[in-house]
């Protein structure tokens, strides 16, 4: 029986879409990055060695993807996200320009995250209630908070720029101190003294 399809041995083809992942160091700790051929699909904070398996397993399951971790510097799908994250942390990049795979977000959450990405630039903040109004749902500030908490692409889709309407910093999936550091990097808050 011939197992070739278009000249390629079909037994060697991956079972699902390819998922490339890596862990990169940053000013806020190790970050797990994952991408599919469609674009960057996941950014995770606190990606120490003890947490990586717990992060990758569910992602592979949810996407039905074959995953691989290339050697550092040998990234294909993640080469540009890694480059842009380094430029962001060095202060040389103010807007990420990456293809994004939005499959891990849907409905209202995706609508809010896409509005955030489109309308809140580097160095600016928006209140939860104001962002809710921008997507036509005034009074849905709490739902916006939930959307921020479910953001599969923090940093790139900058949920750290969403703050409380009364001026408080609000919560953050990466931790409030991480949020402070990111807002300081962007000039919204003063740099920490230590």
Catalytic positions are 159
**Distance separating alpha carbons of residues 82 and 79, to the nearest angstrom:** 5
Which string of b and e fits 62-94 if b means at least 16 CB within 10 Å? ebebebebeeeeebebbebbbebbeebbeeeee
- Could you tell me if 63 and 56 are in contact, meaning their C-beta atoms sit under 8 angstroms apart? no
Cβ(3)–Cβ(9) below 8 Å: yes
């Amino acid at each position: 029986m011939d197992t070739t399809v278009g000249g390629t041995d079909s037994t060697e083809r991956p079972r699902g879409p390819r998922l490339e992942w890596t862990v990169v160091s940053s000013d806020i700790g190790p970050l797990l990055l994952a991408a599919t051929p469609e674009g960057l699909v996941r950014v995770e904070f606190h990606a120490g060695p003890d947490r990586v398996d717990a992060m990758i397993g569910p992602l592979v399951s949810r996407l039905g993807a074959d995953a691989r971790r290339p050697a550092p510097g040998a990234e294909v799908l993640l080469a540009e996200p890694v480059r842009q994250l380094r430029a962001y942390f060095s202060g040389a990049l103010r807007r990420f320009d990456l293809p994004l795979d939005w499959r891990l977000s849907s409905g209202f959450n995706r609508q809010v995250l896409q509005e955030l990405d489109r309308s809140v630039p580097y160095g600016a903040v928006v209140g939860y209630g104001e962002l809710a109004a921008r997507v036509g749902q005034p009074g849905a500030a709490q739902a916006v908070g939930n959307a921020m908490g479910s953001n599969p692409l923090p940093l790139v889709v900058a949920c750290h720029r969403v703050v409380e309407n009364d001026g408080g910093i609000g919560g953050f999936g990466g931790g409030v101190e991480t949020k402070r550091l990111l807002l300081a990097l962007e000039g919204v808050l003063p740099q920490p003294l230590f």
